[in-house]
Amino acid sequence: MSRHFLAGNVRTIAVALAIVVLFLIPLAIQTILHFPGPLAEYAAFSHVHRANRLVDAARFAGVFWSNGLFGILLGAAACAVLVTNDPARDHESRVAPERALSLALASATVAFVFYAVFGVDDLSLIYVGIFYYVVPALALTLLVKRFLDNVTAATVPVAVIVCVIVAALTAIRIHQPPENVSQYDDPRIPAAYSTIRNLDAGGGVAVVDLDGSADWERLWPILVGIEAYTKRQGSVPFCIAQNWQLVFTRATRCTPVEMRIAHGRFLVSAVPKEGMTGALNVAGLYFYPRESARIRAVGEQTAASARCECRRRFLPPTR
């Protein structure tokens, strides 16, 4: 970072800083509109979240390098580079961009491992890191670029073979249905929406508490699917009161007013709850009715009045 370097690269540095500012604009807007903003929510999550072990986080990052097609393609490209590599052809204009991209990918990997340690509550759920696939994808692109740069007349047959294999594997993978395709046409979701809409919530939205004590990985995808379906129907008949607020949009979380005047409150669980009755089965989930805060307050007031009446009738008069 000498003065000479800064003078020679002022335009590049300015563009880099502009990209960083552009990245921060959405966070700034969300913080202004919904103070304290998403960063504060994630910070609050990290305080209550138990950090994962570093070795487990590193293993989690490795899944995205070895998962299915990526592992095969990376291995094939790396072998092709080793077979065709000629150090005599290396020069600064070729090596410098590759070094810069490699350092960027290494930095992204360090950041992702840090995220896996402090920002992921369950490392068995691969979807939370799916954005990290871009790093092995760019690494693969870098290997293919180096391989093509190495190709000479003598190595053309190798290049053709590798390209044909890569194209065939890619075509096969593209035409395979995604693993979560069944979630796009789950017949339980429309039926669950109709059931929730008809819950006895006194004409208002149903206040929902989510039970995360058991089998929660089956609970929340169904609830999120129902929420998405309700938005397409133009009416959301429930709000989320407790647990996993980051999963649901702000509009779906219960407001203080909804919590205070709620006529119907339900505990939603993926498993039967011992000691609780009156459950309504919705898409394999159990909706247990809970006494609303307003009804409970009225009940407490009634009980207090009854106790006073009892004292007045049966206790001897005092002087």
pLDDT in tens, 200-228: 655 677 888 888 777 877 887 888 888 88
221 neighbors 186 (Cβ within 8 angstroms): no
Residue type, 171: A
Whether 173 and 69 have beta carbons less than 8 Å apart is answered as: yes
- Tell me if 179 is assigned to some domain: no
User: Would 309 be classed as within a structural domain?
Assistant: no
Per-residue pLDDT of the chain (319 residues; tens, 9 = 90+): 788 888 899 999 999 999 999 999 999 999 998 888 888 877 777 667 788 999 999 999 999 998 777 777 888 888 888 888 777 777 777 788 889 999 999 999 999 999 999 888 889 888 889 999 999 989 988 888 888 888 777 777 877 887 888 788 888 878 888 777 776 778 888 888 888 887 765 567 788 888 877 787 788 788 888 888 888 888 778 888 866 665 677 777 888 887 777 667 888 888 888 888 888 888 888 888 876 444 343 334 434 443 444 344 434 444 3
- Residue where a domain stops, chosen among 138, 155, 174: 174
- CB-based burial of residue 282 (10 Å sphere; 0-12 exposed, 13-18 middle, 19+ buried)? buried
Question: Domains in the chain: how many in total?
Answer: 3
Q: Do 2 and 72 belong to one domain?
A: no
User: In terms of domains, do 100 and 120 share one?
Assistant: yes
Q: Is 292 found in the same domain as 198?
A: yes
Quick: pLDDT tens for 26-61.
999 999 988 888 888 777 776 677 889 999 999 999
Residues 17, 128, single domain; the answer is: no
SS3 179: coil
pTM of the predicted model as reported, rounded to 2 decimal places: 0.61
Considering the domain boundaries, does residue 149 fall inside one?
yes
79 and 8 in a common domain: no
Say if residue 153 is in the same domain as residue 192.
no
Strand bridging mode 265-269 / 285-290: antiparallel
Indicate if 158 and 193 belong to the same structural domain: no
Asked if residue 225 belongs to a domain, the reply is: yes
Q: Which of 174, 208, 231 is the last residue of a domain?
A: 174
Domain extent for 263: 184-299
Closest CA to 137 of 108, 96, 172, 97: 108
The residues pairing with 253 across neighbouring beta strands, listed in sequence order, are 240
39 in the same domain as 89: no
Asked if the structure places residue 314 within a domain, the reply is no
Q: Is residue 226 part of a domain?
A: yes
Residues 106 and 163 in one domain: yes
Assess if residue 304 is contained within a domain. no
CA 75, CA 8: separation in Å to the nearest integer? Answer: 39
Whether 121 and 145 map to the same domain: the answer is yes
CB count within 10 Å of CB 146 equals: 19
> Which of 174, 205, 235 is the C-terminal boundary of a domain?
174
270 and 190 in a common domain: yes
Q: Is residue 305, in this structure, part of any structural domain at all?
A: no
Eight-state DSSP code of residue 214: S
Same domain, 60 and 167: yes
